[in-house]
Amino acid sequence: MDISLQTSPRRIGRILALLSLVLIITGVFAQGFVANRLIDFSSAATTANNILAHQDLFRWGFTVYLIEMACNVANTALWYVLLRPVNRSMALVAAFIDLAGAVFKTFARVFFIAPLWVLLHTGSPALSGFTSEQVQSIALVLLRVNNTGAGIAVAFFGISILLNGYLIFRSTFLPRWLGALQMFCGLFWLTYFYPPLGARLFMVAALGSLLNVVLMSLWLLTRGVDEGKWRLRAGGS
């Protein structure tokens, strides 16, 4: 028997719903309660003092960011398994593009934790040629690089969200309106290919994506995937 026919699409859907909720929680904590609280891009000194005063919180923010990206990779793999009966080639393209975004974002997080090392080693031989004010500025520049890298990742995620939304729309085993909503959200994240436009539309894109994730998760947890239609598509493909 083909391995796809042995898969439980309803179980995959529930795992996807739980992973999506974890992604929301980790993202809100790391960005909302750590980064936004400690980082002030208008003042290098304020940012440095905040980070040094809350080192453990800052480290936890980095840890949660990594957990978020691990869940994102798992999410990518499971969406590929769930949607490949619709169009294997398109599902594979969406998965690879999403993984590319995950790689960008994970690498960017190195620049999130690096400022703590820089600030803790002010005056060390490695930074002996810089004043404390210059070290604070270096830390802020690294944090800005982290944000830029995350923005690049979001642009890639926009493509995968758009493609997966189209596959959901065509699937027949999930509601077409969920696919339409996901494609709509993906279009907003594509604006990050021109970061100034993406930054202006961030709140609209974020709220739309939050609504999409909540509705998708509720559907997958309560109604779930139509297994009969999924297996029919999987057998045909």
The domain locations on the chain are 10-231
- When pLDDT is averaged across residues 207-213 and rounded to a whole number, the result is 92
Residue-level length of the chain? 237
Average pLDDT score over residue span 159-181: 96
Distance from chain centroid for Cα 68: 7
C-alpha span between 7 and 92 (Å, rounded): 18
Longest dimension (CA), the chain: 68
Mean pLDDT within 198-225: 92
**Rounded to two decimals, what is the model's pTM?**
0.89
Distance, CA of 82 to CA of 9 (rounded, Å): 6
Three-state DSSP class for 166?
helix
- pLDDT at 5 > cutoff 50: no
Average pLDDT over residues 198-203: 89
pLDDT at 106 over 90: yes
- Place 236 in a pLDDT band, splitting at 50, 70 and 90: low
pLDDT of residue 6: 58
Torsion region of 106: left, alpha or beta (phi above 0 gives left; psi -120 to 50 gives alpha):
alpha
| Mean of pLDDT over the chain | 91
The reported pLDDT for the residue numbered 3 is 45
